[in-house]
Structure 1
C-alpha cells in the first residue's frame, strides 16, 4: 500500500466515523437546520430592516447557522475525537505504521471540512429554495470568509486537542468556549443590536469576525480587511501553538 492510497483510505474511514458520530450530523447539521426552518417560518423575521443594511433578520441568521455548524465541529467533534484517540492509544499505535499520526490529523481535518461543506450547501439551498433568501451577492467574499472561519476554528479545535488531557476535558473546554463565541456571533442578539462595547469585542472574536465578512458578502461589498486579518491571526497562532504542544500519547 502506497502512502497516498493509505492516506486516502484513512480519510474515507475518518469521514465515515465523523458521519456516524452524533455530534457532527445531529448537532452540527440537523439542529441548526431545524432552527433555520423554524426562523424562516416566522413572517416578522423576513422583513427588511435598515439596522441590518436592508437585510432581514432571517438573512442574518443564515450565516449564524453556518458558523454554528463550524463551531460545533471545531469545538466539540474534532477535540473529542482526537483527545479520545490519544486517550485510547490510537495515536500511539499509529506511530508504528507507515501512515503515521500526522496523517491522522490531516484526515480528521478533511473529514470535518467535508461535513462543513455539505452543511453550508444545505443551509444555503434550504434558505434560498424554501424561503427565497438571495445568495451572497459577493460569492467570492463569502467563500473566502467561510474558508478563513473554518481554518481559524479548526485550528482552535486542534489547540484544544493538544492541551486537553482526555476526551471529557476536551469536550468541557470546547463547550465552555462555544457559548460565548456563539453569543458574539449574534446567535441570541444580532451584532447590530448589541451595545457598542459588545460590538467592539465581537469584532475581535473568531465568529464575530466571520459574521462581519458574511454580512458584507451578502450585501455585495468587498469584505473589510480587519475581520479577515483577525481570522487569519487565530488560524496561524492556534495552529502554531497546537503543533508545538500536541502530544501523541
Structure 2
C-alpha cells in the first residue's frame, strides 16, 4: 500500500475503531442501556397491558400509535443524553485531550460519537418495533420504511449535535448529564412523546413546537400511520435540520478538548524547617451517638446536594408533574378524587420510594466502590450509624419534596390538606422510606457489581409506579394479574397510606393500619436479607 493510500485509509479505520469503542462503552453502561432500551420498552408493555385490545374506528390497534413516541424517546436518550454525558466525561478524564495528540482528526472523534448514537438509537427503534409487531399486531408500512430511516437519521443527528452543544456549554460531567436528562424528561411531556394525542394548553404547545423533539416525534409518528403516502414530513424534517445546524455551530464555537477549570499549579516557596516539637500521646474521645448521627446526616445531605440529577428527579420532577397534569387534563377525577388531590398523594409516595430505594443505595454502593466503607472499619463509626445517616437524609429530602408539593398543590391547584391528619401523613412517609430503604439495602448486598444497581432499582421502581397507579391517570382498570402483583408489592400500600392521610373525604386521624402493616412486613423482609448477606466492605 502506498503512503497516500495509507493516509486515506487511516481516518476511515480510526472512525470505525472509535465508533466500535463508543458502542462497546454503551453496552457496558447499564444505566445508559436501561434508559435507552428497557425504559421505553417497559412503558410500551405496561401501557399496552392497560389498553388491551382496544382499536380505533378503522380497526387499527391503539398500540400502533404508541411505538413511535417511545422509539423517539429511546433515540433521543441515546443521541442527546449519552452524547452530552459521554463527551463531557471523556473531556473531564483527559481522553479527548490525549486524542488531540494523535493523528486522528477532531471531526473523526466527534463523528464516531454521533455514529455510535445513531446505532444505539436504531437498536432502540428496532427493539420496540419488533416487540410491537410480534406481540401487539403493529403494522410496518413498507412504503414508509425509507421515511422512517431518514427521520431516524436526521432526528438522531439533530439530538447528537445538541448533545455536543450542551457538552460544550457545561463545565462538568454532572452538569451535562443532569441538564440533558432533565431537559429530555421535561420536553417529553411537551412534545407528543409521553402525552401523545393529548391537547396541551396554548403556551405548552407553542413551547413544544419551537423545540426539535416534538418535530422528531411528529415525523416519526407519520411513518407509523396506516394512511396513504410515503411518510415524509418535510416541515418537521426541516426543523430538525435547522436545529442540527444550530447545535453544530454552538459546539464548534465553544467546544473545548481539555478539562474545564484546570489551573496551573502555583509555585510556593518552601517553608523553613520547623523546630522539633515534642508530641504528647493523642487523647481519644468517644463521640456520642447523636453527634455521630448528625455528622453522617450532614455528610449525606452534602453529597445529595451535589447530585443535580438526583435532586431533579426527587424534588423538581414530582412538582413538575403535579403542576403539568392538571393543566393538561383539566379538572378530571381519578378514583373519585380530584386529579390534583390524587396526584399530590401519588407524588409524595413516589418521592419517598425514589429517595430511599434508588438514591440511598446508590450512595452506599458509591462509597463501597470508593473504599469509604472499608476505611470506616478502622474508625469507631459503626455501619448502622452510617446507614442511619443516609436514611435520615433521605427522609429530609422526602420532607422537602412534600413541602414543595404542598406549596404547589395547596397554593395553586386547590389541594386540601387537613392538619389533624398531618401525623398520619408523616408516619406514612417514614414507614415508606424505611421499607424501601431496607429493600434497597437488601439489593446492595445482593449486587456484586455497582454499575448495575441503578438499572435494577429504577428498572423495578418505574414499572411498579404504573402497576401501583402512581403514574396512571384515569379510571381505566388494570389487568387482573397486574393488580394482583401491585397488591402484593409495597408501593401501592404506601400510596394508599398517603391517600388515607390526605383524602378530604376520609374522616378520622387518617392512619391506614393495614397498609402500614404491609410496609412493616416488607421492611422486616428487606432487613433480614440484608443482615443475612451483610454489606461487603
Tell me the TM-score normalised to structure 2 length.
0.43
What does residue range 140-151 of structure 1 map to in structure 2 within 5 Å? 140-151=146-157
Bigger Rg, which one:
2
For the pair 1:233 / 2:242, whether they are aligned, the reply is yes
Task: Tell me how far apart the structure 1 counterparts of residues 57 and 245 of structure 2 sit (CA, whole Å).
Answer: 36
Q: Which secondary structure state, in structure 2, belongs to the residue aligned with residue 165 of structure 1?
A: coil
Partners of 1:203 and 1:209 within 8 A in 2: yes
Q: 1:33 to 1:248 in 2, by over 3 A?
A: same
Q: Deviations over 1:175-222 (max 9, x none)?
A: 231122211233442244334543343333212112221222222344
Which 10-residue stretch deviates more, 91-100 or 35-44? 35-44
What does residue range 176-215 of structure 1 map to in structure 2 within 5 Å? 176-215=182-221
Q: Deviations over 1:103-157 (max 9, x none)?
A: 2212211112111111111111110111101114622222222222111111111
Partners of 1:47 and 1:57 within 8 A in 2: yes
Gaps of 5+ in 1: none
What does residue range 67-78 of structure 1 map to in structure 2 within 5 Å? 67-78=72-83
Q: 1:141 to 1:83 in 2, by over 3 A?
A: same
Partners of 1:145 and 1:214 within 8 A in 2: yes
Q: 1:139 to 1:170 in 2, by over 3 A?
A: same
For the pair 1:167 / 2:163, whether they are aligned, the reply is no
Structure-1 residue corresponding to 2:64? 59
Correspondent of 2:136 among 120, 131, 141: 131
For the pair 1:245 / 2:254, whether they are aligned, the reply is yes
Q: Which secondary structure state, in structure 1, belongs to the residue aligned with residue 246 of structure 2?
A: helix
Q: Which secondary structure state, in structure 2, belongs to the residue aligned with residue 138 of structure 1?
A: helix
For the pair 1:14 / 2:39, whether they are aligned, the reply is no
Q: Deviations over 1:10-29 (max 9, x none)?
A: 22122111211123311111
Structure-1 residue corresponding to 2:123? 118
Which 10-residue stretch deviates more, 229-238 or 41-50? 41-50
Structure-1 residue corresponding to 2:84? 79
Q: 1:224 to 1:11 in 2, by over 3 A?
A: closer
Partners of 2:69 and 2:221 within 8 A in 1: no
Task: Tell me how far apart the structure 2 counterparts of residues 117 and 229 of structure 1 sit (CA, whole Å).
Answer: 21
Task: Tell me how far apart the structure 1 counterparts of residues 238 and 222 of structure 2 sit (CA, whole Å).
Answer: 15
Task: Tell me how far apart the structure 2 counterparts of residues 129 and 123 of structure 1 sit (CA, whole Å).
Answer: 10
Moved segments of 4+, more than 6 Å: none
Structure-1 residue corresponding to 2:482? none
Q: 1:57 to 1:197 in 2, by over 3 A?
A: farther
What does residue range 215-230 of structure 1 map to in structure 2 within 5 Å? 215-219=221-225, 220=227, 221=229, 222-230=231-239
Gaps of 5+ in 2: 1-5, 259-537
Partners of 2:79 and 2:160 within 8 A in 1: yes
